[in-house]
Amino acid sequence: MTYCACSSKRIQKQYRQQKLLPPKKINLSITQHLYLTKHAFALSKY
């Protein structure tokens, strides 16, 4: 599985505010990353 860290801190903060995930650690698959951030260009990084 591919993980993206380009905006993981921002996503982590967003999730923490919504209390959906533990605050310490977040691992996003590329699909989750694209869904959550709408960063279409992220695919070009892999």
pLDDT tens, N- to C-terminus, the chain (46 residues): 344 555 566 666 666 666 555 444 455 566 666 666 655 454 445 4
**pLDDT at 33 (0 to 100):** 62
pTM: 0.24
**Alpha helix ranges (H) inside the chain:** 8-18, 30-37
**pLDDT at 4 (0 to 100):** 53
6 CB contacts (<8 Å, ≥6 apart)?
33, 39, 42, 45
Instruction: Indicate the DSSP class of residue 21.
Output: S
36 CB contacts (<8 Å, ≥6 apart)?
11, 14, 28
**pLDDT at 3 (0 to 100):** 44
Instruction: Break the chain into its structural domains and give their ranges.
Output: 1-38
Distance in angstroms (rounded) separating the CA atoms of residues 29 and 5: 10
